[in-house]
A and B are shown apart, each in its own frame.
Chain A
Amino acid sequence: MAVTKQDLLDPAYLASLNDFQLMSRVAVDGFMAGIHRSHSHGAGMEFLQYRNYSPGEDLKYLDWKVLAKSDKLYTKVFQEETNMNCYFVLDTSASMQYQGSRAACSKLHYACMVAACIAQSASRQGDNVGLFAYSDHLHESVEIGGRLGQVDHILRALTRLKPTGEAQHESMLQTFLRHFKSRGTVIYISDMLEGEDVLPKLLRNFRVNKSDCLAIQVLDPDELDLPQNRVTRYLDSELESEVTTYPETARADYEKRMGAFLERLKEGLAQSQVDFIQLVTTDSVGVSLAKYFDHRGPR
């Protein structure tokens, strides 16, 4: 049976490809097939206006034709490159390892797929991309760049990621912020499970730095409804604690608490002017791409 566009964006299909390079291309092509006929190539410099030559400027921008005709020194001004810096900040703490029975892949794998797809499409638009992945320490960091092969760097780094350790949002995001110089878009991908108080404050710093920030929460469907049906000993993947419970009796309370947590998180992020997307690992990757393009649009 032929693979349809929907299949190309299905996480189950993409996860089976098992190669971020291939996967991201397939997904981006699948997505693009719907909205663009083709992407154009060409010189990125667009003439904007003339302006008076000022001493010390490079000769190569001097308009020689005008000079020859009129003896006046003018410099051609070109449209600023519109490409921007797109940073991916990935939480690779142990909680990202969870994969429930309904999901095709773990949360981290899904987060990596989303990052890979957005990086691929951002790079196609001529944007610079960079990566910062952390839990309690720095796992991978790829300097921002737009050269050929930059996406490959990022994809290779994503392949190496292993979910371990407890998420130290505060210290690691502060570290990232110290190295964060140029403005751009920060795409933060995490399950944000312990961070409803701290993350909005930390992500606000990027907004203060005049950058856009898009927070993508990746959850497993199990985390929303606690579907287990027999007595279960839940071991916390990050903290050394456990709780044994009957999910049937605990479910209603769990959903209430989880709902309250999500509300609080959304509210905090909204106050910090950070866009928020919640993705469940069974969602089509196209959703994330569409939301990204919506966010990438002119502000």
Chain B
Amino acid sequence: MLTFINPGLLWGLAGLAIPIAIHLVNRQRAVPLSFSSIRFIKRTTLQQKNRRSLTDLLLLLLRLAFLAAVIAALSGPRWEPEPKGLLASDESAETVVFVVDASSSLSGWGGWEEAVEVFRTRLAELSEDTAVGLVVFGTKVLAEVAPTRNRSEVENTFLTMYPEQTEGVSAVGIKRALELLGSAPGRRIVVLSDFQVSTWQSELLPDVDPETRIDFVGVGDFEQPNLSILSVDSFASREGGTRVIARVKNDSSETAEISVRLQVRGAELEEAVRFSPGQIQPVAFSVSEGSGSEGRVFLPDDTYLEDNEYGVWMGSSPSINALVVIPVEAEPEKLDEADFVSKALSVEILGASNPYFVNGADVSVDIGALIGKIDALYLAGSVSYLSEEQMGDLQRFLEEGGTVFVSPGKMAAKQYQRLREQGLSALTFVGRSKNAAEKGVPYHVGWINPGSDLGKLFDEEAAVDLYQTEIYRYIRFRAGEGAEVLLRSENGDPLFVRERIGKGTLLTSAWSWDTRWSDLPLRFSFLPLLRESLASAIVDKEGTIRLHCGDLLSPTDLPEGASPSDSEYFLLTVEPNVFVLNNKPFEVNVSRAESLSQRVVLSDVRAQLFQNAKTVPAVEPVSALNSNIRSLWPYFVLAAVLFYLVETVLSGYVDNRSSNEVHA
């Protein structure tokens, strides 16, 4: 390292500016201008002779160098050896851990083959001293080798692996790699992955310290066209058979004409379909055989095979039995409401949730006898007319898991009072709203509980219709503790409330669902509002349970005493499978998140990994100077002399040439 005994004298170097200034003044001054592009500007010949200016420049440099050498020599220059830091000896050592994504998507788009190739190349490039480790991950760590100099162990472990049919959880792999690296010197992680969004858009990525280097190596070509079955649903059809509907996506920029096959009980159905680029299209099959069997939908082979097959349970969904109860004699106008409701419930809609069977009855119906046979009771203004015994039965019906829908009638105050006294409801009657005819402006729904099923059903655009519903009058009540308000009016009054009683659900509407109270029955929103609020309440009628490969079964679905990790149950969900367990049908398929042909932005991943990285405190250099210091001033003196001689010769030559030109 160059040091000086009298560094203050170096200020003398500022004196060098003087000859430069003189030189610049002597030149014809050209104004410097930073310009967008000089490619169109032609150099026009300056009036000076270029060669002359070149020798001038050389002379200037020689004079500057002479002065600089003299000043430097006077400052007492000397050479001191570099001090060595503590870490200097470890600089060359490196520990590399390969983190390899073995999620399902790697088996497609040429990802795994490329990963193997890249791995071999990268491994060969590393120096022999480098310790190499390996982590292969899917949803969990599938294989690992702690950093070692035994390359063949790492290579052999890697080559025995192949992508699983599970999703990828990148955080798991990175975390394990950091654990394996520990505090080894020269830490480096090489990630081989297709960087698919579903694997890498995770908030769980661990923090990486800034000393660790991470290389991202993307493999696989998502440009290759791929068709995938997104989901398959089966419904009992009107004609008695089963309809199977597969949603298929053409994830490419070209039109595809393929045949989609459904295999069921050895028979095979085939549909030729044309898919436009990027299109998602339902493909329907009609199966005449009875239900209760397993079906499989296939696409022809393409770059990613795992999403070309989908197993579906073709059993029927259980139907929901509903009974609409009205006070026929006391309030015959309630027939209107019963008509609308039973019509809306009984209509058979393929593809919708469980089908309904609807009956009607007068208030004298024996509710006790219906327990176990009826799933939902629609009490249209009927509560006030029920006997004490019927109220007791109603309570039992609810506690055992029934769903009751209550709408107000003429005697609304009594209705709320009776439900309250029976301990079924926490709603308190406050009064009746003014009739919209008197007020001049109808009431509207002003708020849909965003956390409820209705909030999800009536998303932004669908909610518009519900908000536009005109309610001419309603019952004002206060919702007590335990009542979940689903809808509120514009001025905040609860309009539709859900309460849980035992295993059952009580739904209370503040207005009667007929055309005298509101225009709801004539609106779009009526059907979904009624059916979905009832269906979401009837939890026991769930259909098929859908799982992804690698998911564990929920303990509640298993026989008592069994654990999801028992090999008997664990193996059920390892590969795509359709089975029945405890009378519940299960569909296990490869997660379709793995079919997304979209890469994450790598700079985002990097930013996330290093987001909490703090700068590591620098290691204090140890003063290990020895006495091996050499004085350099003689060299500078020698250089000054040399510059002076050359300058003298050159200036003599220039003078000579100028005088010759003058003579000429």
Contacts and interface: CB of A to CB of B under 8 A. Distances in A.
Interface string A71-100: 101001000000000000000000111100
Given A56-B351, A250-B42, A193 B523 contact: no
Interface stretch (A150-158, A223-231, A272-280): A223-231
Contacts of B40: 254, 257-258, 261
Interface string A182-212: 0000000001011000000000000000000
A68 B247 CA distance: 29
Contact of B462 (A56, A60, A220): A60
Place the interface of chain B in its size category: 35 or more
B41 A245 contact: yes
A54 interface: yes
Given A67-B527, A233-B32, A245-B43, A60 B38 contact: no
B154 to A, nearest CB: 32
Nearest to B245: A56
Contact of A64 (B461, B524, B603): B524
Contact of A56 (B30, B46, B233, B340): B233
Contacts of B282: 54-56
A55 B457 contact: no
A60 B33 contact: no
B187 interface: no
Place the interface of chain A in its size category: 35 or more
A241 interface: yes
Interface stretch (B254-262, B327-335, B342-350, B376-384): B342-350
Interface in B509-556: 522-528, 531-532
A225 to B, nearest CB: 12
Q: Which of B30, B233, B284, B343 has the most chain A CB atoms closer than 10 A to its own CB?
A: B30
A174 interface: no
Nearest to B31: A232
A16 interface: no
Contacts of A228: 31, 33
B28 A231 contact: yes
A58 to B, nearest CB: 8
A63 to B, nearest CB: 7
Which 10 A-B residue pairings sit nearest by Cβ, starting from the closest? Answer: A55-B350, A55-B351, A56-B351, A95-B36, A257-B40, A233-B30, A193-B37, A249-B44, A234-B35, A64-B527
Interface of A: 43, 45, 53-57, 59-65, 67-68, 71, 73, 76, 95-98, 107, 138, 179, 181, 191, 193-194, 220, 223, 226, 228, 230-239, 241-246, 249-250, 253-254, 257-258, 261
Given A59-B527, A96-B36, A226-B41, 19 more contacts: A56-B245, A59-B532, A67-B347, A68-B340, A68-B343, A68-B344, A193-B37, A194-B39, A223-B37, A231-B29, A232-B30, A233-B30, A235-B33, A237-B34, A242-B38, A244-B46, A250-B44, A257-B40, A257-B42
Interface of B: 28-44, 46, 233, 235, 243, 245, 247, 282, 284, 340, 343-344, 347, 349-352, 457-458, 461-462, 464, 522-528, 531-532, 598, 601, 603
